[in-house]
Structure 1
Amino acid sequence: MRLLSGLSLANNQLNGAIPTCLGKLLNLHYLYLDRNYISGSISTSFGQLSDLRHLFLYFNNISGSIPHELGNLYHLKELYLNNNYLTGSIPETLVNLKNLTDLTLYENQLNGSIPREIGNLTSLIWLELQLNNLTGPIPASLGQLKSLLHISLYSNQLSGPIPQELGNLTSLSTLHLAFNKLNGSIPSSFGNLQALEQLSLQNNKLSGSIPPELGNLKLVEIEMTNNRFSGSLPDEICNGRKLEKLLVGYNKLTGRIPKSLYNCSSLIRVRFDGNQISGDFSESFGVYPYLNYINLNDNKVYGGISDNWSKCRNLTTIQMGGNRIQGSIPDSMGNMIQLVVLNLSSNDLVGDIPKEFGMLTRIEKLILSNNRLSGIVPQELGSLAELLIVDISMNKLNGSIPSSMGQCSKHFFLNLSNNGFARKIPVQLGGLIQLSVLDLSHNELTGTLPKSKVFMNLSIEALQGNKDLCGNVSGLKQCASESREPTRKRKLVLVISLPLLGALLLGVLMGMFTFYCHISKSLPLTQLVNRHKHGTNFFSVSTFNGRETYKEILNQTEEFNEAYCIGMGGCGSVYKVKLSSGNTVAVKRLHSSSEVINHNDFLNEITALTRIRHRNIVKLLGYWGSLADILSHETAQTLDWMKRVNIIKGVAYGLSYMHHDCSPAIIHRDISSKNILLDSEYEACVSDFGTSKILNPNSSHWSNIAGTFGYLAPELSYMMKVTEKCDVYSFGVLVLEIIKGEHPGDIISSLASTSTEEVEFTDLVDHRLPVPIPEIKEVLTSILILAIKCINSNPEIRPTMHQVSNNIAGIICDVYKSDNAV
């Protein structure tokens, strides 16, 4: 073994620490241990491997610091330590490695500064230090490394100016300095970088003008978004005819659109948004066969929309809001069948919405708000099955709201406000069960609101300013037909209240029946009631014929066959039963194994339910199944991202109501996916109040532990004091489960101790569903960040459910108000 010249154990399942005896293999030329599960630290004995040329330890779980003894490996050519958990600073001794060509230390937790004498690595070709916590300046000595092809220093905390000396790197093809704290201007010496293809400077504090010398380069990618650059873009910026990405959004750029862009047919992605760039829109852009994304939002572009855009056959996103674009929308835009996002808001557009838009079968986001569009909304828009977001507010549109819009079943956001829409609201809109935001305010709508869940909880702000609307919304006048028909109103009250009361009474019967089975099969029901009369007066609720109803329940459930079970709680199992009366109810059957405990829990549940009136708290009117059941089967694919967001929102609203709108407050204590029931429209309802606790402000909140393992707040293990923050923790776990599609398990502990910036979105989503579009991804990411706050180990730091529900509502609304998709 001492004569061994090479050892390759890469891409296996190796774990544990690296044996120190490897340091005795003095003839090793290469050591490949990459892509395993190796932990522990890098042994200092590696410094004895004086003949080593290649050391690959990347993609492991190695921690600790980089041994300074590695600076003794004078023959080393490649050092790959990336994607580990290394800490500490980069050893100064590494600058002694004169033969080193590749140095990759990225995606660790390294800190400190880049060694000032890194310029001594005269053979260096490839340098990757990104995704660490490095601070200080970029060493000017880097400019001495004439062989460098690639520099990646992004996502650190580097500061100071970009050294002029980098302009000496005439072989450099890639320079990534994004996501740091760099300031000053782009060195004019960059004009010497004739081999440069990728220049990435976004998200820094850079300022000044963009050097015109950049127009002499043959750049493929320019990324300068989110800085403080001023002045105009070089007219020659695409003279090399190779430019694919031009991302300069959110700076202080002025001047006209560069002339060379008209014939820059290589373009794939363009961002000018958030500047003050001007120019004639119809004359500045040509035809781009590869372009898939363009964002000109919030500039000063004027002129009309050219037919050229309809010839860009790969264009999926057009963001042109907040400019001075005039004229009408060309009918030819209806030919852009690949289009997913179209934003022409806040311009000076006039005329009709083209009926040809009905051919945009892939479109998901249509924003035409704040223009001067007129005429009727084409019925053809109702055929756009993928449409999620529609905002045509603040125009001069008239006529009726097309009933066909009710066919767009994926609608998530619909704003028709501030137009001249007249007549009744189409009842078909009531079928848009995915809607989170609906605004019909300031039109000339009349008549009765459609009777559906969509309109049930609308605020008056979403309906105000109409001509003659009426309905059961606070602040809106009641319809005359309803006030003249008290009989119908009483029937409506009965329809709403009787199923709930019936469910409660049936639940009572199940409790009595379980106790009855333990005493005697011949004991009269009245005696069972009397037996508990000193404990509570609950059993004297009603004199309904319990025995007959119970027989019907046995018959309908085939004597409580598991096929009818829709959920299980700490107190009993819940069954779905359709009675001969036509009512569908949920019946809870108490477990018989712990009669006293469950009896008390059941009384808690009944007491809690009789106090609560909220759409997202169980009403026991018939359910499709529990959330846990649906997520655990292939039916989870029916819960698309929008439905999952609505479920999260519903649970948050329900808990907020229990904690902050009930007096005294009610703590559920067993929030989990098995206790969230979904109705036929996927509306979430919190169920199983067997372990709930009504907070008495004049008593202690200490209690026995209750709840479901995996959802329990950690503080319950050392202090059995129940607070609302216990529910908040369980809610956070539930949110992670809904988005991930399964219980997060051990991820919870790592998330609770990790900054939200380090969370990988792909690790937290359900891969059974398609990748979410950017707008939905933004919502999911924000909700995930909120969920991570909810599972903080310190209950004092967790938000309240009132804050959570408000945040979720804000997240949903804000993403639709924003037109700045990346």
Structure 2
Amino acid sequence: MGALDNKVVCLACFSLFVILFSSPNFAACSPASAGEANALFKWKHSLQNQNTSSLASWEFHPNNDSISACRWLGISCNHHGIIKGLNLSNFGINGTLYNFPFSSLSNLKYIDLSINQLFGTIPPEIGSLSKLIYLDLSINSFFGSIPSEIGHLSNLETLHLVENELTGSIPHEIGNLTSLKDLSLYDNNLEGHIPASLGHLKNLSFLYLYENNIHGSIPHQLGDLTNLLELDIDTNNLTGPIPSNLGKLKKLTMLFLHENHLSGSIPLEIGKLKSLEYLSFYSNNLTGSIPTTFGGLTSLTLLHLYGNQLSGPIPQELGKLKSLTDLELSQNNLIGQIPTSFGPIPKSLKNCSTLVRARFDGNKLTGSISEGCVPVELGSLTQISYLDLSKNSLSGSIPRFWPNFQNLFHLNLSRNKFSQEIPFQIGNLFHLNKLDLSHNLLAREIPSDITKLQSLELLNLSHNNLFGVIPKGFEKIPLSFVDISYNNLQGPIPNSKAFIEAPMEALQGNKGLCGNATGLQPCPSSMNSKSRTKHKALVILIPLGGVILFSGALMGYVIMLEWRKRKANVEEGDKGNKDVFSISLFDGKGMYNDILKATENFNAAYCIGNGGFGIVYKANLPSLASYTTTVAVKKLHSLSDQAEFASHKSFLNEIRALTEIRHRNIVKLFGFCSHARHSFLIYEYLERGSLAKLLGKDETARELDWPKRVNIVKGVAHALSYMHHDCSPSIVHRDLSSNNILIDEEYEARISDFGNAKLLKLNSSNWSAIAGTYGYVAPELAYMTKVTAKVDVYGFGVLALEVLQGKHPGDFISTLTTLAIESIELKDILDTRLSPPSAEVNEAVMCIAKLAIGCLQINPESRPSMQVISQIFSTRKMPLNNL
């Protein structure tokens, strides 16, 4: 779903930056009144964690009339010394607002209390802050209803109450806030109807009400919000038709109404929204045809209409949508003869050269795919990455257009009537992750070319008429799921985890399969003789970045036994080509010899880097042309006998971590070799080298412009979120630094060097020795050694500031704990070797700065998780995805 999967908006990163980076320093301002300071001081002492380090500067002495709250962290004042702003976002505050001094702070214009641990109800006294322009209470635990008194804030321009536990209905009094530009109430438990009074908010640009329990119809008055840019009320219980009045919203760029119970036909007037970029109506009860007027939505990049009851043909007018990247029309009742072009895609869609994702599954589309016309009609769709034509009635042969689709990672042609063979050209889809051709009429043998798909994790060829032997090459690809049931296959199954551990249902219904798997007979000894090794070398194949083939403990035990035995038996002059322990995509013994030859026995001339545990060499290996021609080889340092175990422990850590995980922003591990003379890891080679190297030279630093730097920080955030929250057990890197971030040719970031990685297992204390690079190590490791993911969050904060400043932030980090954040100006954050960021990128840069500061909180519990940060970077409102 891309952008639709991530619903966290960087609320603290929009208008609030007026406070953070645009407001002047108030060093010369007169003291705020003692009454204001005393009132805030009392509220601090009502908090459950009043001694939080974030509020350490909030000190008040009743006998000192000259006390200045303007110097307190999180406070900003006007030139008269009167408090005008509170920015306490991500301060780790735990408490309520019941003792908050609303009446004493009548001049407040800005309040940001987001990303804290506040609870209780929102007091009605908040309505007394008549000068308030910005109010953000998001990402807390407030419950109860929104007080109607909030309608008294006539100057309010931004209201964010998202991700709380608010109930009740939306107060109709919000319609009185005629200055409001941004209203965000999503991800609560709000009920009732959408107030028609919202139609009075003529200045409103953003309206987010999604992920609540709102019911009733969409009020037609929303069509009067002519300045609206984004409207999102998805994932509620809305019923009735889509108002045709929404066609008046000429400035609208995003319209999300999906996952409701809307009915009726799609209004033709929606086709008048010429500025629309994102349109999503999926999972409703919409009927009728897709309007031909949609051909006028020439700015559209995303169109999701799946999961409705739409009927009729796919309009040829959709071919005019030349900016379209994501088209999903599946699970409807669409019908019609397939044109003499690719599948159910009308011939006119050949103009949609930007199309990345297309789904048409679950309709009633018919006809055959004319292979002769495919290169003409579909050849320009080279950017497509997701294609689903399943659950239709398509017939004929599967076309051979696949070499044009190098970005395709998901291909589902299941439950159709395709016949003849599987085209060998599918083997050219090197990024393919999922291939489903099940429930068709495919015959002949499985082409061995499919085993070139080194990224393939899911393969379903079940319920066809395939025969012959399964290609042995499947042992070399990272399959985690396979289903070959109900074919006519025979012979031994490949010796890989996916086949050996496949359930009986995934292998049954064939002629004569054999092998070491549930429900199969053992293969005759003659079949196994070829697999018996005649060498001392132990070569075990694993998936590239796939799943672990055996536990780390067993791996360590075997390696240590082999290591000690070989060290005792091998002379210094022995080349040792016979004694190689390896785990690799390639032939371990051959690869070991090839690398020694390519590096001239690790000659210093091939050295490209030096780390804490090893030296990195560049090796050109023409023999691996089907995978790559150049690799990076990390050779472990030769250590003393006492240090050997620690060295190999690091070695195993890196292997274990990288064989568990697979992510575009994590360096790829091709394999490793362990030998009495040399032990080394084989990685993908990244031409641009480390981030530290690029930032360290003025010429390369200038090439890292602001969009590239934003993308680098974003990539690292996504990778860390994957490691912390999507891996089991979680993986903490523990040594995040610019030296360990590698950059590829397209300036995409890759996290590398997992020698200090820690696998966090459930029900484990996770105590460990201090690890990491000076300047990036979290402060809590000075007094405790329990590893948590917040260690990486701190390192990410340092790294993010380093990317913005172009150098390690150094002492600037310590000033963040004592210097009021409001006094920091944007120029203090940015690399002076670059011109200031453009308006398009400025918001993203500022958001990174604020997130980085949040990550550097002394209290680890006050730091956001990498999952939250990753979601912020993926939100629709952040201008990051198009940089």
TM-score class normalised by the smaller sequence: 0.5 to 0.7
Residue of structure 2 equivalent to 1:275? 260
Alignment of 1:384-783 (within 5 A): 384-446=381-443, 447-451=445-449, 455=453, 458=456, 462-468=460-466, 470-471=470-471, 472=474, 476=484, 477=489, 490=530, 536-538=565-567, 540=569, 546=575, 557=599, 560-565=602-607, 568=610, 573=615, 575=617, 595-597=640-642, 616=669, 618-619=671-672, 623-625=683-685, 629-632=689-692, 633=694
Are 1:366 and 2:358 an aligned pair?
A: yes
Are 1:178 and 2:161 an aligned pair?
A: yes
Larger C-alpha radius of gyration, 1 or 2? 1
Per-residue deviation, 1:207: 2.1
8 Å Cα contact 2:691-2:739 kept in structure 1: no
Instruction: Sort the Cα spacing of 1:478 and 1:18 in 2 relative to 1 into closer, same or farther, 3 A.
Output: farther
Instruction: Sort the Cα spacing of 1:603 and 1:651 in 2 relative to 1 into closer, same or farther, 3 A.
Output: same
Residue of structure 1 equivalent to 2:83? 79
8 Å Cα contact 2:97-2:122 kept in structure 1: no
Per-residue deviation, 1:337: 0.8
Aligned length: 672
How far apart, in 2, do the equivalents of 1:114 and 1:294 lie? 42
How far apart, in 1, do the equivalents of 2:567 and 2:357 lie? 53
How far apart, in 1, do the equivalents of 2:208 and 2:801 lie? 32
Per-residue deviation, 1:77: 9.5
8 Å Cα contact 2:419-2:441 kept in structure 1: yes
Secondary structure of 1:403's counterpart equals coil
The one-character-per-residue Cα deviations of 1:39-98 (angstroms, maximum 9, x if unpaired) are 944777999689xxxx995xxx843899xxx9xx9x969633343579899xxxxxxxxx
8 Å Cα contact 1:618-1:685 kept in structure 2: no
Bigger mean CA deviation after superposition, 302-311 or 278-287: 278-287
Residue identity in the other structure for 1:413:
H
**Which consecutive unaligned segments of at least 5 residues does structure 2 have?**
1-19, 34-53, 337-343, 495-522, 542-560, 579-591, 661-668, 674-680, 695-699, 760-765, 818-825, 839-843, 876-880
Per-residue deviation, 1:571: 6.2
How far apart, in 1, do the equivalents of 2:460 and 2:737 lie? 33
Instruction: Sort the Cα spacing of 1:278 and 1:161 in 2 relative to 1 into closer, same or farther, 3 A.
Output: same
Q: Which of 52, 58, 73 does residue 63 from structure 1 map onto?
A: 73
Residue of structure 2 equivalent to 1:311? 296
How far apart, in 2, do the equivalents of 1:14 and 1:149 lie? 19
**TM-score when scaled to structure 1?**
0.60
How far apart, in 2, do the equivalents of 1:278 and 1:348 lie? 15
Per-residue deviation, 1:190: 5.6
Are 1:329 and 2:319 an aligned pair?
A: no
Q: Which of 121, 131, 146 does residue 113 from structure 2 map onto?
A: 131
Per-residue deviation, 1:299: 1.4
C-alpha RMSD of matched pairs (Å): 7.0
How far apart, in 2, do the equivalents of 1:283 and 1:534 lie? 73
The one-character-per-residue Cα deviations of 1:572-597 (angstroms, maximum 9, x if unpaired) are 545456799999999887757x5545
Bigger mean CA deviation after superposition, 573-582 or 605-614: 605-614
Identity fraction in percent: 29
The one-character-per-residue Cα deviations of 1:427-473 (angstroms, maximum 9, x if unpaired) are 44334343444433333444224446664675676333333163347
8 Å Cα contact 1:552-1:579 kept in structure 2: yes
8 Å Cα contact 1:626-1:676 kept in structure 2: no
How far apart, in 2, do the equivalents of 1:384 and 1:263 lie? 33
Instruction: Sort the Cα spacing of 1:496 and 1:673 in 2 relative to 1 into closer, same or farther, 3 A.
Output: farther
Are 1:292 and 2:277 an aligned pair?
A: yes
How far apart, in 2, do the equivalents of 1:157 and 1:610 lie? 41
Instruction: Sort the Cα spacing of 1:381 and 1:649 in 2 relative to 1 into closer, same or farther, 3 A.
Output: farther
Residue of structure 2 equivalent to 1:208? 192
How far apart, in 2, do the equivalents of 1:202 and 1:651 lie? 28
Residue of structure 2 equivalent to 1:224? 209
8 Å Cα contact 1:677-1:687 kept in structure 2: no
Residue of structure 2 equivalent to 1:354? 346
Residue identity in the other structure for 1:369:
D
The one-character-per-residue Cα deviations of 1:748-781 (angstroms, maximum 9, x if unpaired) are x99xx9xxxxxxxx99xxx99x99xxxxx9xxx9
8 Å Cα contact 1:398-1:422 kept in structure 2: yes
How far apart, in 2, do the equivalents of 1:793 and 1:227 lie? 31
Per-residue deviation, 1:302: 0.9
Residue of structure 1 equivalent to 2:500? none
Residue of structure 2 equivalent to 1:528? none
Residue of structure 2 equivalent to 1:247? 232
Bigger mean CA deviation after superposition, 382-391 or 631-640: 631-640
Instruction: Sort the Cα spacing of 1:396 and 1:77 in 2 relative to 1 into closer, same or farther, 3 A.
Output: farther
Residue identity in the other structure for 1:249:
D
Instruction: Sort the Cα spacing of 1:436 and 1:226 in 2 relative to 1 into closer, same or farther, 3 A.
Output: same
Secondary structure of 2:438's counterpart equals coil
The one-character-per-residue Cα deviations of 1:349-379 (angstroms, maximum 9, x if unpaired) are 2232223323222233323332223345644
8 Å Cα contact 2:227-2:251 kept in structure 1: yes
Instruction: Sort the Cα spacing of 1:276 and 1:328 in 2 relative to 1 into closer, same or farther, 3 A.
Output: same
The one-character-per-residue Cα deviations of 1:590-628 (angstroms, maximum 9, x if unpaired) are 757x55456666787999999999695723596543799
Q: Which has the higher contact order (CA 8 A, sep 6+)?
A: 2
Secondary structure of 1:277's counterpart equals strand
Secondary structure of 1:619's counterpart equals strand
Per-residue deviation, 1:736: 9.2
Per-residue deviation, 1:340: 2.6
